[in-house]
Amino acid sequence: MAEQKTILKALAGETQDTPPIWMMRQAGRYLPEYKATRAQAGDFLSLCYNSDLATEVTLQPIRRYGFDAAILFADILLVPQALGADLWFEAGEGPRLSTITTEKELEELRPVVEIHQTLSPIYQTLRNLAGALPKETTLMGFAGAPWTVATYMIAGRGTPDQGPAHALKAENKAVFEALLARITEATIEYLSAQIEAGAECVKLFDSWAGSLKGGDFDAYATAPTAQIIAALKARHPDIPVIAFPRGAGEKYVGFHAKTGADCVALDDSVTPEWAADNVQKTGCVQGNLASYHMVSGGQALVDEARAIVEAFRNGPHIFNLGHGITPDANPDNVQRMIDTVRGG
């Protein structure tokens, strides 16, 4: 039997001498080859829906660096678009969407069974990748978690404090909860289709989980994640799931058990020593080098990467950044991070 891939070993709970490594936003604007392919596609969304070019940009960081996982090139906001929201990207600013804040707007969304019409090129990208990746590289699918996706659908854009979503939660809980339920259902179907197209593991990005406090965190970050994972495990019991409740802080404790996640991804606001004691005890962790090291580099990058490897060395660990790499990063620093993690 072929040796199991290193990422899948970590997700199965195995402790390895050298942690496997990949990087959030590994295909992105810090790479000249990404910028060239994006220019060829025209714009970001055209790149997401062009299976051949999306395959190419997914492979670029694998060719350049030999990461242990390839993450599908797509975006968490394709699900709102597939549900019928308008979506576009303002150059230099970020995403814009038509907003959903009333029962009428909610009713106008498309039924979940229809999302695949929009999303079928994404499944084709995964099928391409399943045939194109080196045999040691794990193919990772992903989606946004319902709360994070809802914050964009309610505000119509990214917001620093997720204010509009918190306001809808306070003013019209029925619409807020119905929207979350719709996204949850769509996410289950989307990730199942990704798995059927070849994804060997999937990740749920809850980038704004940290703005939910107390019972709201349990109800709108933990519970939908648990619901999605339970549904996926019922259909695809052998496919591991990574959950990323960014900014969870002390709520990281117990997140494996409460959600059924095989791995909990850590942002850089928690120290690896704390996380080793309090989170890795209950399962695999991923993370958590601060992204700015990919800009600043130097000895601090090496020291911090070594400290993270050291802190997590007695349990299952996948090395990653605490958030996505930024466009101003230096590609040489990425190589230095990899050499440090693999070479000691």
Left, alpha or beta for 66 (phi > 0: left; psi -120 to 50: alpha)?
A: left
Reduced to 3 states, what is the DSSP secondary structure of residue 201? strand
CB 255 within 8 A of CB 248: yes
Task: Give dist(CA 275, CA 249) in Å, integer.
Answer: 10
Amino acid at 45: L
Task: Give dist(CA 102, CA 14) in Å, integer.
Answer: 47
Residue that the structure tokens 């709108």 belong to: 220
Q: Which of 71, 100, 183, 188 binds ligand CP3 (CB under 6 A)?
A: 71
- 181-220 positions binding ligand CP3, by CB under 6 A: 205, 207
Q: Between 115-132 and 51-65, two packed helices, what is the crossing angle to 10 degrees?
A: 40
Q: Is the dihedral of CA 80, 81, 87, 91 positive or negative?
A: positive
Q: Write out the E strands in 12-159.
A: 69-71, 87-90, 94-97, 138-144
Reduced to 3 states, what is the DSSP secondary structure of residue 142? strand
Question: Is there binding between residue 29 and ligand CP3 (CB under 6 A)?
Answer: yes
- Whole-number minimum distance, CB 74 to ligand CP3, in Å? 6
Question: Is there binding between residue 313 and ligand CP3 (CB under 6 A)?
Answer: no
Name which of 324 and 331 has its Cβ closer to ligand CP3.
Answer: 324
- 259-298 positions binding ligand CP3, by CB under 6 A: none
Question: Is there binding between residue 156 and ligand CP3 (CB under 6 A)?
Answer: no
CB 283 within 8 A of CB 261: yes
- Give residue 235's Cα distance to chain centre: 21
- Whole-number minimum distance, CB 77 to ligand CP3, in Å? 5
Question: Is there binding between residue 147 and ligand CP3 (CB under 6 A)?
Answer: no
Q: Which of 84, 121, 158, 331 binds ligand CP3 (CB under 6 A)?
A: 158
Considering only the stretches 10-18, 70-78, 231-239, 312-320, report the one whose residues sit in contact with ligand CP3 under the rule CB under 6 A: 70-78
Which phi and psi (to 5°) does residue 181 adopt?
Answer: -65, -40
Question: Is there binding between residue 242 and ligand CP3 (CB under 6 A)?
Answer: no
CB 53 within 8 A of CB 37: yes
Name which of 29 and 233 has its Cβ closer to ligand CP3.
Answer: 29
**Closest chain position to ligand CP3 (CB):** 207
Q: Which of 77, 155, 229, 241 binds ligand CP3 (CB under 6 A)?
A: 77
CB 264 within 8 A of CB 240: no
Q: Which of 121, 297, 324, 331 binds ligand CP3 (CB under 6 A)?
A: 324
Name which of 76 and 112 has its Cβ closer to ligand CP3.
Answer: 76
Question: Is there binding between residue 68 and ligand CP3 (CB under 6 A)?
Answer: no
Question: Is there binding between residue 22 and ligand CP3 (CB under 6 A)?
Answer: no
CB 70 within 8 A of CB 137: yes
- Whole-number minimum distance, CB 36 to ligand CP3, in Å? 12
Considering only the stretches 67-75, 121-129, 221-229, 234-242, report the one whose residues sit in contact with ligand CP3 under the rule CB under 6 A: 67-75
Enumerate the β-bridge partners of residue 25: none
Any idea which residues carry the catalytic annotation?
Answer: 25, 29, 38, 75, 152
Q: Is the peptide bond before 314 cis (omega within 30 degrees of 0)?
A: no
Name which of 157 and 313 has its Cβ closer to ligand CP3.
Answer: 157
- Whole-number minimum distance, CB 47 to ligand CP3, in Å? 7
List of residues contacting ligand CP3 (CB under 6 A): 24-29, 38, 44, 71, 73, 75-77, 94-95, 142, 158, 205, 207, 324
